[in-house]
């Protein structure tokens, strides 16, 4: 009787998991392999006819000035975004944990999380108007040359305008994740370390960071993906300009696929981004896992 119930339970678990598994295969695995197939062709995205050209699209990506420029921009943007967001999220977490009273923590959590519920396009369009109209108007009133100029209008400063908006909204979720992680660290571990004479810096390096590494890993990968695939902010604020100075990989993929009818080349570019995200994420997790609690 017990064995029959066990078999019935296993069949039930199998039936429950088969649906999400099939959806995963249908909506993720199959499109990935289809994309790899199309990346080896000269498909225009519309017609059903295409010709296999081997690795021609991949070679084109690394030899074409426009694609190389977009790759370099995406790399620079992602590095800046990951560094600033992760550091800012950690500082906010520490400040809210140790400097803010328990009565106000819920209020501040809500304030910091609010940007995360807003649409990316809405945020981009709103900040675009702030940079284009509001700040220059304030600059004229204050007679400030710095504020009078639209930061998105210069190839040298446009990236910082987009980064500012992305950081403002993109810090919310990593902050909440890190906050949940630090609250799960047992308090008696800190007490024991203090008794042994550990200072705040040692507590942070030897206890806080190692215990929070699993959460930090997840937040890192999430911000990394957000930086490499950034599209909405740029499309809403600059459309890749001025002079293609903010044309990220995702924006260029969109342009290649829907404006230039080069879906095969765009798909190859998307495959490259997928590989980059997978490699960097795997390396980061492998390196950081050595410093997790319980790891030698």
Q: What is the pLDDT of residue 200?
A: 84
Range of the domain at 271: 64-289
| Residue 44 placed within a domain | no
Asked if residue 210 belongs to a domain, the reply is: yes
13: in domain: no
> What's the CATH number where 146 sits?
1.10.3720.10
For residue 206, tell me if it sits in a domain: yes
One DSSP character per residue, 85-151 reads HHHHHHHHHHHHHHTS-HHHHHHHHHHHHGGGGS-HHHHHHHHHHIIIIIHHHHHHHHT-HHHHS-G
The answer as to whether 131 is a domain residue is yes
Evaluate whether residue 135 is within a structural domain.
Answer: yes
| 30 within some domain | no
Residue 50: count other Cβ atoms within 10 Å of its Cβ. 16
In this structure, what token pair is assigned to residue 156? Answer: 């040298």
Residue 15 resides in a domain: no
User: pLDDT tens digits, the chain, 296 residues: what are they?
Assistant: 466 676 777 777 778 888 888 998 998 889 989 999 999 999 998 888 899 999 999 999 999 999 999 999 999 999 999 999 999 999 999 998 888 877 788 888 888 888 988 998 899 999 999 999 888 888 888 888 877 888 998 899 999 999 999 999 999 999 999 998 898 888 888 888 888 888 888 888 888 888 898 899 999 989 999 999 999 999 999 999 898 999 999 999 999 999 999 999 999 999 999 899 889 888 887 887 776 665 54
The tally of domains found in the chain comes to 1
Q: Check residue 112 and give its pLDDT.
A: 86
- pLDDT at residue 8, rounded to an integer: 75
């Amino acid at each position: 009787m017990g064995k029959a119930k066990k078999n019935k339970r296993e069949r039930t678990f199998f039936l429950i998991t088969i649906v999400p598994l099939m959806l995963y295969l249908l909506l993720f695995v199959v499109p990935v392999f289809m994309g790899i197939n199309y990346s080896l062709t000269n498909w225009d995205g519309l017609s059903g006819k295409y010709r296999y050209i081997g690795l021609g699209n991949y070679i084109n990506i690394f030899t074409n000035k426009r694609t190389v420029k977009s790759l370099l921009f995406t790399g620079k943007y992602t590095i800046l975004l990951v560094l600033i967001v992760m550091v800012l999220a950690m500082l906010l977490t520490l400040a809210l944990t140790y400097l803010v009273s328990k009565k106000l923590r819920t209020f501040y959590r809500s304030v910091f999380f609010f940007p995360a519920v807003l649409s990316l396009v809405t945020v981009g369009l709103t900040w675009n108007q702030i940079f284009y109209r509001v700040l220059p108007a304030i600059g004229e009133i204050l007679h400030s040359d710095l504020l009078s100029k639209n930061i998105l209008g210069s190839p040298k400063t446009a990236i910082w305008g987009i980064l500012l908006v992305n950081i403002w909204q993109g810090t919310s979720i990593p902050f909440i994740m890190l906050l949940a992680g630090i609250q799960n660290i047992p308090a008696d571990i800190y007490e024991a370390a203090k008794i042994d004479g550990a200072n705040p810096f040692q507590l942070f390096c030897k206890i806080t960071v190692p215990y929070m590494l699993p959460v930090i890993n997840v937040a890192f990968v999430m911000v990394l993906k957000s930086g490499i695939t950034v599209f909405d902010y740029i499309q809403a604020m600059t459309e890749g300009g001025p002079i293609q100075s903010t044309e990220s990989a995702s924006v260029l993929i969109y342009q290649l696929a829907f404006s230039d009818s080069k879906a095969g080349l765009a798909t190859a570019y998307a495959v490259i981004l997928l590989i980059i995200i997978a490699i960097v994420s795997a390396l980061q997790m492998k390196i950081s896992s050595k410093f997790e609690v319980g790891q030698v």
